[in-house]
Structure 1
Amino acid sequence: MFTTRPTLQGTFGMVSSTHWLASATAMAVLEDDGNAFDAAVAAAFVLHVVEPHLNGPGGEVPIIIAPAGGRPQVLCGQGGAPAGATIDHYTSLGLPLVPGTGPLAAAVPGAFDAWLLLLRDHGTKPLADVLKYAIGYAENGHPAVERIGATVETVRELFETEWHSSAEVYLTNGKAPAPGALLRNPAMANTWRRVVKEATGPTREAQIDKARQVWREGFIAEALAEAAAQPTLDTSGERHAGTLTADDLAGFEATYEDPVTYDWNGWTVAKAGLWSQGPAFLQQLALLPDGLEYGTPDYLHTLIEGTKLAMADREAWYGDSADVTTDALLAKDYNDARRALIGETASFELRPGSPDGRAPRLPKAVTDGSLIDVPSVAGVGEPTVAKNGQTRGDTCHVDVADRWGNMVAATPSGGWLQSNPVVPSLGFPLGTRLQMMWLEPGLPNSLVPGRRPRTTLTPSLALRGGEPVLAFGTPGGDQQDQWSLNFFVAVALRENVRGGLDLQGAIDAPNWHTNSFPSSFYPRETVPGSVTVESRIGDEAIAGLTRRGHQVTVDEPWSEGRLCAVARDPETGVLSAGANPRGMQGYAAGR
């Protein structure tokens, strides 16, 4: 079948990411005898520089790792709500929702500590060796991709009138960066240089721990806490100070945990837990009937309707305060009953289930209809940013596999250039992940100090016969586990290429998404019955979905999905990689 590029194959190392410079950086580390974890960390810090509209050091990251010969683990780089982030505090300000921008939306940043913990425990390189690439691009500049300029242009007035420190970094003579123009961030370069200088100790591990301490308790923590205390114009239209303090920063450490897994069609898929939307991917698999013919209108209808059911459960049951188990949500009897709800026509209802026989509870803003009938947003995985910085699904991704059998999948996000003003001394802003929590008590995802906001970030790892085989993921907010589902099922059901998985073919396959459930992002809208498809999906499929009652939006031919993937054949050791052609910046590399 047609593909935009070949599925890469080799035996030395494979990388896939959402930006070619990050992929090149990871490959350079592998060539320098670094392992997959060294390479992923170096690529991640480059992504902070070259995709600042999609992620930053002030954001967060979930990481799934498969060390050679070891068991897969999830590394959680999602910080919780600050101690002062209570529902009473926000509602006392007259806010019905956590704002989509500004310091009130800032959770404790988690990405930096997670990446350094990964480097300490599983990498081999000194900190200076993995940071030098990001320092170089921040100091000497990198050619700006089109979407950076488009994002900056959208919020240019906000930068000029309110967020002056951001204007100093991202505007030149009042203009956003032109495509290909060198974009520099000397403050960020100086930040990482200072971290390296202060990260002293007798061993590599001690130096990395010192760097983590510098972030949590040193000059970085001081600057972030000061920035959070500054009243800032946010999406509410008013200026608010945040709740993040130095004590919140000092108290956070990234943590390891076991993944949630589900067996399907000879595969075992591993995801992060109910503090993420990851288990929804597993529920989508559990809802699939046997015998689906790939790519038919029935196939698409079934996947879309199953997604609606899984995401309805996400709204009712997922969160860091969840009192349901994934065993209950993935139980055969439960999913058999849920599958029976998939009818011949599109559902316009939000239908959460009752695992263990308990009644679901949805936020009042969902049940009272206030999130209904917002126009559908096509191409939502690209930077969709309002003039006030309100953002949908802006994220990046990186996967690495090395010759020793290590694999890693990570989805860094948050701390976007449009989320908060740049901290002048650091070169990057705080994040806004608290916008995903509800200002209503008693919900699994209610705003509670110390609790993690239910993130949309959801990397994936798949095993066969207990051996890690496939690492993959995508940007796209609420669309991540929809686009990933379409990719994974394509990999699992279609013919292989050259004795390996057809990664590029599955990435290039026409994709879709539905917004028929509440968005995780401010202002939390929903579009019942909606589905957005790439025009390449074909007239027959579009007609079939329309006939079944779906409200179909036909988007550009290459607009849905941003997948990255790497694979390893445990029997031969052959490595593979593919990357998304949409947006003209994702790339795979390997040999």
Structure 2
Amino acid sequence: MFTTRPELTGDHGMVASTHWLASAVGMSVLERGGNAFDAAAAAGFVLQVVEPHLNGPGGEVPILLWSEAARRVSVICGQGVAPAAATIERMTALGLDIMPGTGLLAATVPGAFGGWLRMLREHGTWSLRDVLEPAISYADKGFPAVAGIVNTIGVVERLLRTDWPTSAQIWLPGGAVPAEGDRLRNPTLARTYERVLEQAESVTADRDGQLAAAVQAWYGGFVADEIARFCAETQWPDTSGESHGGLLTGDDLAGWEATVEEPVTLDYHGYTVCKTGPWGQGPVFLQQLGLLRSFDLAAMDLRSADYVHTVIECAKLAFADREAFYGDPNFVDVPLKALLSEAYSRTRAALVSETANTELRPGRPDGRQPVLPSVRTDLTADPSQGVSDAPMPDGVGEPTLGSDGRVRGDTCHLDVADRFGNMVSATPSGGWLQSSPVIPALGFCLGTRGQMFRLQEGLPSTLRPGSRPRTTLTPSFALREGRPWLAFGTPGGDQQDQWSLQLFLSLVHGGMNLQEAIDAPAFHSVHFPSSFYPRLAQPGQMVVEDRIGEPVIAELRRRGHAVTVEGPWTLGRLSAVARDADFPGRGFLRAAANPRGAQGYAAGR
């Protein structure tokens, strides 16, 4: 099979990410003796700088990791929570029936800094200064503007000029939209991180003490003070059409910390797949696998209409359960054991027929009555005609803003494996330059993850003070015979656990290597409600890359799918690293990255 680049193999270390600079920095850490956790953190902070349209310091990060010392998979939750003042009553008093997609009202506690430092403190070896120096250097001295940044700034140029002047000062250098390849700088952000380091190093010379002091500076010191002041004293236009301040306070930040959790797992054909809890959409990957166990995928051509139809129909069922049952388990009783049980999966899989279904059909795990949010539908396409003229949904592809100016966000991803046996999969996101105005004293903006809350009582995803939003961020990890095998993931909002699933199935059933699986034509469903403002559902609709072939597309339409056909290299930005060292005849680490967008790269030796 033709691939756009080789699958990398080696035995020293591997890094794969959505930006070549982050991959290069991560690999440089491994070359200089750092472990996978040092490398992942250094690469993650670089991504905040060089992919500001996809993530930032005001965002969040969920992390899945294998520690060879502990010999287990852990989840680090770097997802912040809703402010104490964020209630449905507060929002409805402002005339809102849906959380804004931009601005300050949708901000949750920025969890990325705490998430990365929790991982460093428990598993890393490098000092915080060594980890942060590459990001500080790029922010201070500059980095090349990739096409995605330029396109994003171009779409929101008017917004920045007229409504968010603090953002315009950084992202419209010289008063103009930068050109691709221009050097962009953010010296204010560089100074923020330098100040954090200065304060941490003034407290103690001890590495762990410095990490703790840095967390204090961020969540209980000058960073928290500036965030709280900006939210309380300023108001900015958002997608509601009105101007609003923020709800985050110093107490909200001081009361939060990144947590370590057990992964949710499912066994599939000799592999164990690990995901985050249902505060994220991660278990929907596992539910899809549970449904697909009822079908003989190994007997199918992975580019056939039979295969695509089966995967899409199972996705619809799993994501319907996501809408009905997923939420922060600290606040909601999620029937996860029942949702992942073999009996429930078999019952649900029996609903898959030869034709496309256009209903949102959650199940009844443990006999529970599903509770669905109000669904806004986009009926631009008529599924009976088998064709769709609907716009690409939120969070899909590059660029992530529509030509109509609707602000969307996307995500980054990175994977690392080191020679010591450690592996990391992380999906940093949020705090995009297009999400909210820059805090001038800090050089970054807050995130808008709160847009995933529902302003409707009684739902698992209802807005609740102190609750985590049901995020779409979903790194993936898989074990083979109980040993670490694969760390993988992708940006893409609701599509993350569809594109990542296709990679996994291509490896398990298609016999592909990592690069072949990433390069394979991608597809996904947009049948269920989007997690992003304005929360539209597009019943019966799906999206495919045209490389899948006209005969397959025609057959899918005959079966009742409304198919939107996109360009040959448009869907997904997957990356992955794998470890075969424990298996006879191999002994290599492997890596691959996505060619789409000419930005993601893997590095290793």
Say whether the 8 Å CA contact 2:280–2:327 is kept in structure 1. Answer: yes
Question: Where in structure 2 are the equivalents of 1:10-49 lying within 5 Å?
Answer: 10-49=10-49
Residue aligned with 1:79, SS: coil
Identify the residue that residue 52 of structure 2 maps to in structure 1: 52
Identify the residue that residue 499 of structure 1 maps to in structure 2: none
In the TM superposition, residue 242 of structure 1 has moved relative to its aligned partner by 1.2
Q: How many residues align?
A: 582
Separation in 1 of the partners of 2:296 and 2:99? 44
Separation in 2 of the partners of 1:439 and 1:389? 24
- Write the letter of the residue equivalent to 1:520: S
Say whether the 8 Å CA contact 2:401–2:409 is kept in structure 1. Answer: no
Say whether the 8 Å CA contact 1:392–1:477 is kept in structure 2. Answer: no
The structure 1 residue matched to 2:213, chosen from 210, 214, 231, is: 210
Question: Where in structure 2 are the equivalents of 1:26-425 lying within 5 Å?
Answer: 26-69=26-69, 70-200=71-201, 201-229=204-232, 230-288=234-292, 289-292=294-297, 293=300, 294-320=302-328, 321-363=331-373, 365-366=374-375, 370-373=376-379, 375-377=390-392, 380-385=396-401, 390-425=406-441
Q: Deviations over 1:194-217 (max 9, x none)?
A: 111111324100000000000011
Residue aligned with 1:72, SS: strand
Say whether the 8 Å CA contact 1:14–1:27 is kept in structure 2. Answer: yes
Identify the residue that residue 440 of structure 1 maps to in structure 2: 456
Q: Is the counterpart of residue 553 in structure 1 residue 564 in structure 2?
A: yes
Say whether the 8 Å CA contact 1:383–1:392 is kept in structure 2. Answer: no
Bigger mean CA offset, 540-549 vs 400-409: 540-549
Say whether the 8 Å CA contact 1:21–1:46 is kept in structure 2. Answer: yes
Cα pair distance change 1:471/1:277, threshold 3 Å: same
User: Displaced runs of 4+ in structure 1, greater than 6 A?
Assistant: none
In the TM superposition, residue 174 of structure 1 has moved relative to its aligned partner by 2.8
Residue aligned with 1:252, SS: coil
Say whether the 8 Å CA contact 1:100–1:390 is kept in structure 2. Answer: no
Q: Deviations over 1:29-79 (max 9, x none)?
A: 111100000000000010000000000010001000100142100000001
Say whether the 8 Å CA contact 2:409–2:434 is kept in structure 1. Answer: no
Identify the residue that residue 2 of structure 1 maps to in structure 2: 2
Identify the residue that residue 504 of structure 2 maps to in structure 1: 488
- Write the letter of the residue equivalent to 1:77: G
Say whether the 8 Å CA contact 1:64–1:409 is kept in structure 2. Answer: yes
Identify the residue that residue 387 of structure 2 maps to in structure 1: none
Separation in 2 of the partners of 1:115 and 1:39? 11
The structure 1 residue matched to 2:519, chosen from 505, 508, 512, is: 508
Separation in 2 of the partners of 1:372 and 1:390? 15
Q: Is the counterpart of residue 468 in structure 1 residue 484 in structure 2?
A: yes
Q: Deviations over 1:158-202 (max 9, x none)?
A: 111110010000002332111000000000111111111111324
Separation in 2 of the partners of 1:191 and 1:202? 20
Say whether the 8 Å CA contact 2:409–2:432 is kept in structure 1. Answer: no
Cα pair distance change 1:573/1:205, threshold 3 Å: farther
Residue aligned with 1:385, SS: coil
In the TM superposition, residue 326 of structure 1 has moved relative to its aligned partner by 1.6
Residue aligned with 2:478, SS: strand
Cα pair distance change 1:247/1:386, threshold 3 Å: farther
Q: Deviations over 1:389-418 (max 9, x none)?
A: 754350000000000000000000000000
Say whether the 8 Å CA contact 2:325–2:335 is kept in structure 1. Answer: no
Residue aligned with 1:435, SS: helix
Normalised by the length of structure 2, the TM-score is: 0.95
Residue aligned with 1:448, SS: coil
- Write the letter of the residue equivalent to 1:213: Q
In the TM superposition, residue 385 of structure 1 has moved relative to its aligned partner by 2.1
Say whether the 8 Å CA contact 2:53–2:409 is kept in structure 1. Answer: no
In the TM superposition, residue 425 of structure 1 has moved relative to its aligned partner by 1.4
Say whether the 8 Å CA contact 1:417–1:429 is kept in structure 2. Answer: yes
Cα pair distance change 1:386/1:540, threshold 3 Å: closer
Q: Deviations over 1:484-507 (max 9, x none)?
A: 1111100111225xxxxx000000
In the TM superposition, residue 332 of structure 1 has moved relative to its aligned partner by 1.0
Residue aligned with 2:511, SS: coil
The percent of aligned pairs where both chains have the same amino acid is: 60
Separation in 2 of the partners of 1:247 and 1:309? 40
Separation in 2 of the partners of 1:202 and 1:388? 52
Residue aligned with 2:442, SS: coil
- Write the letter of the residue equivalent to 1:231: Q
In the TM superposition, residue 541 of structure 1 has moved relative to its aligned partner by 1.2
Bigger mean CA offset, 172-181 vs 21-30: 172-181
Separation in 2 of the partners of 1:252 and 1:182? 36
Normalised by the length of structure 1, the TM-score is: 0.97
In the TM superposition, residue 138 of structure 1 has moved relative to its aligned partner by 0.5
Bigger mean CA offset, 555-564 vs 221-230: 221-230
Say whether the 8 Å CA contact 1:393–1:478 is kept in structure 2. Answer: no
Say whether the 8 Å CA contact 2:7–2:515 is kept in structure 1. Answer: yes
Q: CA RMSD in A?
A: 1.3
In the TM superposition, residue 225 of structure 1 has moved relative to its aligned partner by 1.0
- Write the letter of the residue equivalent to 1:232: W
In the TM superposition, residue 483 of structure 1 has moved relative to its aligned partner by 0.4
Residue aligned with 1:173, SS: helix
Separation in 2 of the partners of 1:511 and 1:228? 41
Identify the residue that residue 581 of structure 1 maps to in structure 2: 595
In the TM superposition, residue 346 of structure 1 has moved relative to its aligned partner by 0.7
Unaligned runs of 5+ in 1: 497-501
Unaligned runs of 5+ in 2: 381-389
- Write the letter of the residue equivalent to 2:465: P
The structure 2 residue matched to 1:536, chosen from 537, 547, 552, is: 547
Say whether the 8 Å CA contact 1:516–1:526 is kept in structure 2. Answer: yes
Separation in 2 of the partners of 1:582 and 1:387? 20
In the TM superposition, residue 388 of structure 1 has moved relative to its aligned partner by 9.4
Say whether the 8 Å CA contact 1:491–1:503 is kept in structure 2. Answer: yes
